[in-house]
Structure formats: C-alpha cells, structure tokens
C-alpha cells in the first residue's frame, strides 16, 4: 500500500495527474525497475554522486610557461630583425 501512496505522491510532478499516470509509475517501478519496497524507491530517486575532478594545475602552469616562453622568444626574434 505504501508503494501505491508513493506513486500517488510522485504524480504531483506532472501538471495533469491521473489514475493512468499513477498506474504507469507503478508499472514502471515494478516491471522495469524491479522496485518492490519503499527503500528501492528511495535508492532510485537518489541522484548519483557527482565526481569531483581535480584541476591539473601543473599542466596549466606548464602551458602558461610555454606561452610566456613563446612570447619572449618571438619578441627577441623581432628585436634582432629590427637591429639588422
């Protein structure tokens, strides 16, 4: 019975809930999702954990240094051309 009530509660997510909509929720849970308990519903409704990605600052610093080296090298080349 609790699962049916939870299905009714979830029908509030639509603008036009109906018995057919609730039946669709329950059918989907039971046949497609293997949901048979309130705990199964809770697990299904819990969003997946977001992975934290660590910035690769060492690589970013190296790219910045490469860009700086390139600028310095080009300015030095330009100065040499102007002197000649």
- Helix extents (H) in the chain: 2-10, 19-27, 38-45, 57-83
- Dihedral through CA 22, CA 25, CA 29, CA 30, nearest 10? 50
pLDDT tens by residue, 2-58: 888 888 888 888 888 888 988 988 888 888 778 888 888 888 888 888 776 666 677
Residue 73 — very low, low, confident or very high, per pLDDT cuts 50/70/90?
confident
> Which residue reads 């849970």 in tokens?
29
Q: What is the pTM of this model?
A: 0.48
In this prediction, residue 1 carries a pLDDT of 82
Give the residue-averaged pLDDT of 56-66: 79
């Amino acid at each position: 019975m609790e699962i049916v009530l939870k299905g009714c509660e979830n029908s509030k997510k639509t603008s036009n809930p109906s018995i057919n909509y609730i039946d669709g929720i329950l059918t989907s849970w039971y046949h497609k999702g293997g949901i048979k308990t309130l705990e199964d519903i809770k697990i299904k409704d819990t969003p997946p954990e977001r992975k934290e990605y660590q910035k690769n600052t060492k690589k970013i610093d190296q790219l910045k240094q490469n860009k700086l080296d390139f600028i310095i090298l080009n300015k030095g080349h330009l100065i040499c051309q102007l002197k000649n």
